[in-house]
């Protein structure tokens, strides 16, 4: 039996944003000050849009002020309406963007291994009001994109992906954003790549991108023509400048997170009552989260015991995504939100725990987090 490890002197949070050398950011700020161009598709915006399109192999990419507005605009650009089938195991923004478009979210149960929308559960929920599937690559595990597309194609539905956790992911060398009709990326500070607040929409069709670029700028076509009821979804020059510097740090951050993940895997895999998500073959990971599932069959300790126990060691793991979106007061009256229809999602939401995961965690820190976890699981 291991002895009780000492708590961390400073709190350890679930993530820590990539912070590029400040002098490099200041240089870009000086250029912005000199030009007096702070917003509305200036040179920083153009440079970041180009750089990300190249880095992500995503030629039709539009920057946004955040990922949620990007998804709201995706619904408008693809003219979604009626009902959209989605997952309850996600961040609130996913169903909320449907509500903001006057669309009813219809929750379908998830796959127990990937924790993503299970393509088998979609067909029974399709009605003559269904216009799309909104799936999430949760934690950076890719959805079964082939099966989802097949269901969508046989019913004439659009496919939109919430790719907030999927930055830079590839399936067999193919960019994750090349699947479906549109993919949202979030550049919030808690995401692998970030612009403090920000996001992007990637589509396959240049005409759709043209429509998106109008929609994110009030529908303004030129000085005298407003052609549709758009919104303000624009990313500022300050955000874009930060993104350009964060992008330069990204390969190094990915390498550090791969190191952290390897230390966790080596230690956590053998702990009693803990299951780690499998690493799907052929997938270039996003390194967005490191999730452990605790308290499944035969476990002696519940996820909540471990969650509270870790706080005594000054470790702030997070229960993403508990509670399920279908449990929110604004959605739980929906027929599809009934817990009896979402058994897998309810089980998974009771087991998941996102452990601290960022490049600045040293190996000794990760070992110490594992010591605390092991202590809690064996006492």
Ligand X SMILES: *Cc1c(COP(=O)(O)O)cnc(C)c1O
Which residue ranges make up the site for ligand X (CB under 6 A)?
Answer: 66-68, 90-91, 93-94, 136, 162, 164-165, 186, 188, 199
**What are the structure tokens assigned to 346, written together?**
């309810």
Closest CB to ligand X among 167 and 264?
Answer: 167
Contact 339, 235 (CB under 8 A): no
Closest CB to ligand X among 80 and 164?
Answer: 164
> In angstroms, what is the minimal distance from the CB of 6 to ligand X?
33
> In angstroms, what is the minimal distance from the CB of 52 to ligand X?
15
For helices 237-268 and 363-378, give the axis angle rounded to 10 degrees.
50
Closest CB to ligand X among 143 and 370?
Answer: 143
> In angstroms, what is the minimal distance from the CB of 188 to ligand X?
4
Closest CB to ligand X among 64 and 313?
Answer: 64
Rounded Cα distance between 169 and 177, Å, is: 8
Contact 295, 303 (CB under 8 A): yes
> In angstroms, what is the minimal distance from the CB of 240 to ligand X?
15
Closest CB to ligand X among 186 and 236?
Answer: 186
Longest dimension (CA), the chain: 75
Rounded Cα distance between 308 and 325, Å, is: 22
> In angstroms, what is the minimal distance from the CB of 117 to ligand X?
12
If residue 207 lies in a helix (H) or strand (E), which one and from where to where? helix 206-215
- Which residue is closest to ligand X by CB? 67
Rounded Cα distance between 37 and 131, Å, is: 40
Closest CB to ligand X among 68 and 326?
Answer: 68
Q: How big is the CA angle at 211 (ends 206 and 217), to the nearest 5 degrees? A: 130
Rounded Cα distance between 263 and 370, Å, is: 9
> In angstroms, what is the minimal distance from the CB of 90 to ligand X?
5
Closest CB to ligand X among 91 and 313?
Answer: 91
Contact 71, 188 (CB under 8 A): no
Within 8 A by CB and 6+ apart from 379, the residues are 1
> In angstroms, what is the minimal distance from the CB of 219 to ligand X?
21
Question: Can you tell me whether residue 239 is helix, strand or coil?
Answer: helix
Closest CB to ligand X among 236 and 373?
Answer: 236
**What are the structure tokens assigned to 239, written together?**
């955000």
Closest CB to ligand X among 299 and 325?
Answer: 325
The set of long-range contacts for 227-232, using a CB threshold of 8 Å and a minimum separation of 24, is 231/69, 231/72, 231/73, 232/65
DSSP state of 220: E
Rounded to 5 degrees, φ, ψ at 96 are -60, -35
Question: Can you tell me whether residue 41 is helix, strand or coil?
Answer: coil
């Amino acid at each position: 039996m291991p002895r009780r490890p000492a708590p961390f002197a400073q709190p350890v949070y679930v993530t820590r944003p990539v912070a590029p050398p400040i002098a490099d950011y200041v240089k870009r700020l000086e250029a912005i000050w000199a030009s007096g161009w702070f917003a509305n598709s200036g040179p920083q915006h153009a440079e970041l849009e180009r750089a990300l399109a190249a880095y992500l192999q995503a030629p039709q990419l539009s920057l946004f002020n955040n990922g949620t507005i990007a998804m709201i605009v995706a619904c408008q650009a693809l003219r979604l309406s009626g009902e959209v089938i989605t997952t309850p195991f996600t961040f609130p923004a996913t169903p909320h963007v449907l509500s903001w478009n006057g669309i009813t979210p219809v929750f379908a149960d998830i796959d127990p291994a990937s924790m993503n929308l299970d393509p088998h559960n979609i067909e029974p929920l399709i009605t003559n009001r269904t216009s799309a599937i909104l799936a999430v690559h949760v934690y950076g595990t890719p959805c079964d994109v082939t099966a989802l597309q097949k269901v969508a194609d046989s019913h004439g539905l659009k496919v939109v992906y919430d790719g907030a956790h999927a930055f830079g992911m590839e399936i067999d060398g193919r960019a994750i954003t090349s699947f479906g009709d549109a993919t949202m990326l979030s550049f919030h500070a808690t995401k692998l790549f970030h612009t403090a607040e920000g996001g992007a929409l990637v589509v396959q069709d240049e005409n759709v991108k043209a429509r998106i670029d109008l929609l994110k700028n009030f529908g303004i076509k030129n000085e005298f023509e407003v052609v549709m009821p758009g919104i303000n979804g624009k990313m500022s020059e300050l955000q874009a400048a930060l993104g350009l510097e964060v992008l330069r740090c990204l390969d190094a951050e990915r390498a550090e997170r791969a190191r952290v993940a390897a230390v966790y895997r080596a230690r956590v895999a053998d702990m009693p009552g803990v299951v780690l998500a499998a690493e799907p073959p052929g997938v270039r990971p996003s390194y967005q989260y490191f999730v452990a599932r605790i308290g499944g069959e035969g476990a002696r300790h519940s996820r909540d015991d471990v969650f509270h126990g870790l706080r005594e060691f000054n470790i702030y793991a997070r229960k993403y995504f508990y509670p399920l979106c279908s449990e929110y007061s604004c959605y739980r009256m929906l027929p599809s939100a009934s817990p009896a229809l979402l058994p897998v999602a309810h089980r998974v939401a009771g087991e998941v725990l996102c452990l601290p995961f960022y490049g600045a965690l040293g190996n000794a820190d990760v070992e110490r987090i594992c010591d605390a976890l092991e202590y809690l699981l064996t006492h």
